[in-house]
Amino acid sequence: MFYRFLMRLAFSTDYALRLLMLLGLEPDRLVTIEEASARFCISKNHLMKVAYQLGQADYLETVRGRNGGLRLGKAPDRIVVGEVVRTMEPDFAVVECENPTGYCKIAPSCVLRSAMREAVRAFLTKLDEYTLEDLLRPKSRLRALLGIGQQRALAENRVDGH
């Protein structure tokens, strides 16, 4: 049998990066959890947890109240993708022997563990080369895919009576 092994980020890390991208595309206004949830088809509860973690790390600011929402806590060119991943994935256990609760019989003489550590280090080093600003480069295409700007145009048409 052929098994395909994937190194995979936790959903919370994926959601964190997407949320930061959305906020980076909407710098002039607050974005609500409900809006982000609808745009990405992600659970509001999951996004609330992610937003809390990102807020604790100063990647975003939360504004409470009726007209509240989220906005970036730093300029997009100061948010390094590798740092966000490290924040969201503090242990980054790719193989079971890296997991603090894991057990592996061959761990004392296995090279796999150090090879995986090296691979994760290289992966994160590569992500350190990218900022949120880099991820936002295809801004007009990303905005179109997320329907950003369309809501404003619809709202303006309603106000004008069209």
- Among residues 125, 117, 148, 119, the alpha carbon closest in space to that of 25 is found at 148
Domain 10-78+132-147 in this protein, CATH class: mainly alpha
For residues 86-109, average pLDDT: 76
How much is the pLDDT for 100?
61
In tens, the pLDDT along 4-15 reads: 555 678 899 999
How much is the pLDDT for 98?
66
In tens, the pLDDT along 55-67 reads: 999 999 999 988 8
pTM score, whole prediction: 0.81
Tell me how far apart the alpha carbons of residues 11 and 9 are, in angstroms, rounded to a whole number: 6
Token couple for 137: 């480069």
For residues 137-143, average pLDDT: 91
Q: Percent of the chain having pLDDT more than 90?
A: 59
Give one word for 46, left, alpha or beta, with left for phi > 0 and alpha for psi -120 to 50: alpha
Residue scoring higher pLDDT (106 or 31): 31
Q: Where are the domains of the chain?
A: 10-78+132-147, 80-130
